């Protein structure tokens, strides 16, 4: 069933591309103020492990395992820009890719009105891409990237697609340095499978990028608060997972609303059973907690040598741990051929909270938790990824890419995990155990990127 629906999705993307290209030519001939453009990727992905599946986007309900699939990275974007005057512009971009509903239903990725009071300043209002990372603006445009996808160790650690709000972009020059300064404010509701999601509020950010010669530098910071909500609208988690077997990650789900905590005994609530239950539960609960990102980026490109690096730190102070991630990519252009190698990593600052049994219930807790005191912990990730790839510009505005990724988790990841790039087949994202016992997982991708 999946392959059949996918075949029609790919066919639909091809038809849409043909129509869009024809429309672009027709509109461009009629008016210089109305322009239709777009981009797309057709990609095939598979892993070498039938028990481990890969997600290019951690919102996807499932991933790719040992059989090759076309729906992890394949996408089509169409953008319409209308400029009635030199000072005013309206932009709408539709993006079709596999989403949290397991369909290719198009979504609005850009929808804003821009006003330029002076040539160096642009003011926008509406929906635009959240510029939290160096490649955020063009992360969906495969043709604009060296890799088949931006390194997931970094880009899956900061899943904020858009901002619904306002921004100001100022472009200037100081001697040989051209710079761009952007400030923005807004919010966004990020949807996941099954009706859950994350609401980002009070998103306020500032970015500064500078270019001189072959060098590009970028620094950015964003402050926001986030609430992870379930399908019923409650802030998540609504229960607390207490580990009873550290070696396997098994434990008990503790519900603060239940009259009997984990069926220990009738009429003993969780905050009666554990003296610090409420404080631990509130520490893990993702309800109006910080979601702050600081990012540093560097690119060197002299036409032949290409070096790109990025370092990101996230603060979340909830079940989603604070984390750091980075990558370093280097390549060399031989005319239309660009081989490259990339190394990336992500690691969380995992915190463990010991649950203290009330003295009168200590013996009862000891009967259930026989391998030490029960504890809850925040998300746990320590990943390393080595990638090698080849980009070939086969035609104007068309690039063919091949990439091999060697992914290795280096720690036990019980409970919710960060940057859910790999997970066990059949498990919900964020709920699967990934550990160093999995060993190395290899991923092969072939992608055809184009712009029009």
* Choice among 52-56, 357-361, 434-438 with the minimum mean pLDDT: 434-438
Residue pair 360/341 in contact (Cβ under 8 Å)? The answer is no
Question: What HEC string does 215-279 produce?
Answer: EEEEEEEEEEEEEEECCCCCECCCCEEEEEECCCCEEEEECCCCCCHHHCCCCCCHHHHECCHHH
- Backbone angles phi and psi of 245, in degrees to 5: -125, 95
Closest CA to 107 of 164, 53, 68, 146: 164
> Is 49:441 a contact under the CB 8 Å cutoff?
yes
C-alpha atoms less than 13 angstroms from C-alpha of 327 in its C-beta half-sphere: 27
Can you tell me the mean pLDDT for 250-254? 86
pLDDT exceeds cutoff 50 at 1: no
- Confidence check: pLDDT of 181 > 50: yes
Does the pLDDT of residue 23 top 60, yes or no?
A: no
Name the strand (E) or helix (H) holding 22.
helix 2-30
Structure-derived torsion over alpha carbons of residues 100, 104, 106, 110, reported in degrees to the nearest 10: 60
Encode pLDDT of 93-147 as tens digits: 999 998 888 889 999 999 999 999 999 999 999 999 999 999 999 989 999 999 9
Q: Which residues contact 449 (CB under 8 A, 6 or more apart)?
A: 39, 40, 41, 141, 142, 143, 145, 398, 399, 400, 401
176 has pLDDT over 50: yes
Cis peptide, bond prior to residue 237, ω within 30 of zero: yes
Whose tokens are 């919102």? That residue is 59
Predicted confidence at residue 65, as pLDDT, reads 64
* Cβ contact 345:325 at 8 Å: yes
Which is it for the CA torsion 192, 198, 202, 203, positive or negative?
Answer: negative
Report which DSSP code applies to 280. Answer: H
Write the pLDDT tens digit of every residue in 288-306: 999 999 999 999 999 999 9
21 vs 244 pLDDT, higher one = 244
Q: Does the structure show a pLDDT above 60 at 283?
A: yes
Element (H, E) at 331: strand 323-332
- pLDDT, average across residues 153-157: 91
Residues 6+ apart with CB under 8 A from 76: 13, 16, 17, 38, 39, 40, 95, 96, 97
Read off the tokens for 16. Answer: 């849409």
Mean pLDDT to the nearest integer, 261-267: 74
Phi then psi dihedrals of residue 44, to 5 deg = -125, 135
pLDDT bracket for residue 424 (50, 70, 90): low
| pLDDT at 30 exceeding the cut of 60 | no
Domain ranges of the chain: 42-70+148-451
Share of the chain above pLDDT 90, in %: 63
- Is 0.75 surpassed by the pTM of this model? yes
pLDDT higher than 60, residue 435:
no
Contact 340, 388 (CB under 8 A): yes
- The enclosing H or E element of 180 equals strand 177-191
| Token code pair at residue 163 | 């901002």
What's the pLDDT score for residue 192?
87
């Amino acid at each position: 069933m999946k392959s059949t629906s996918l075949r029609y999705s790919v066919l639909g993307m091809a038809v849409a591309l043909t129509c869009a290209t024809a429309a672009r030519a027709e509109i461009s001939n009629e008016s210089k103020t109305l322009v239709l453009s777009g981009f797309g990727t057709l990609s095939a992905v598979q892993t070498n492990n039938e028990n481990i599946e890969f997600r290019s986007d951690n919102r996807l309900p499932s991933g790719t395992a040992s059989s090759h699939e076309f729906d992890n990275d394949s996408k089509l974007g169409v953008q319409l820009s209308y400029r009635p005057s030199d000072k005013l512009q309206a932009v709408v971009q539709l993006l079709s890719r596999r989403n949290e509903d397991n369909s290719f239903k198009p979504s609005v990725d850009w929808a804003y009105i821009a006003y330029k009071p002076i040539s160096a300043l642009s003011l926008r209002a509406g929906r635009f891409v959240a510029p939290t990372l160096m490649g955020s603006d063009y992360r969906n445009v495969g043709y604009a990237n060296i890799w088949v996808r931006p390194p997931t160790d970094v880009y899956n650690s900061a899943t904020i697609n858009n901002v619904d709000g306002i921004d100001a972009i100022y472009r200037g020059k100081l001697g040989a340095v051209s710079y761009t300064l952007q400030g923005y404010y807004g919010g966004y509701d990020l949807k996941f499978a099954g009706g859950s999601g994350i609401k980002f509020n009070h998103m306020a950010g500032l970015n500064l990028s500078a270019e001189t010669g072959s060098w590009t530098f970028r620094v950015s910071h964003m402050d926001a608060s986030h609430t992870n909500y379930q399908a019923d609208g409650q802030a998540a988690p609504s229960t607390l997972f207490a580990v009873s077997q550290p070696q396997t990650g098994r434990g008990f789900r503790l519900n603060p609303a239940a009259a009997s905590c984990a069926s220990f005994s009738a009429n003993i609530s969780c905050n009666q059973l554990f003296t610090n239950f409420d404080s631990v539960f509130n520490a893990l609960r993702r309800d109006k907690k910080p979601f702050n990102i600081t990012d540093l980026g560097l690119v060197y490109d002299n036409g032949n040598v290409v070096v790109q690096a990025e370092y990101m730190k996230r603060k979340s102070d909830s079940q989603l741990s604070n984390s750091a991630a980075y990558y370093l990519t280097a390549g060399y252009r031989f005319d239309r051929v660009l081989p490259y190698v990339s190394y990336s990593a992500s690691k969380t600052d995992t915190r463990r909270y010991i649950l203290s049994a009330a003295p009168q219930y200590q013996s009862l807790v000891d009967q259930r938790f026989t391998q030490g005191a029960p504890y809850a912990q925040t998300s746990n990730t320590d990943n390393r990824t080595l990638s090698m790839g080849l980009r070939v510009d086969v035609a104007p505005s068309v690039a063919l890419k091949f990439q091999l990724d060697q992914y290795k988790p280096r720690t036990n990841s019980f409970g919710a995990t960060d940057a859910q790039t790999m997970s066990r087949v059949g498990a919900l994202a964020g709920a699967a155990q990934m550990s160093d016992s999995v060993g190395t997982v290899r991923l092969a991708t072939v992608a055809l990127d184009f712009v029009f």
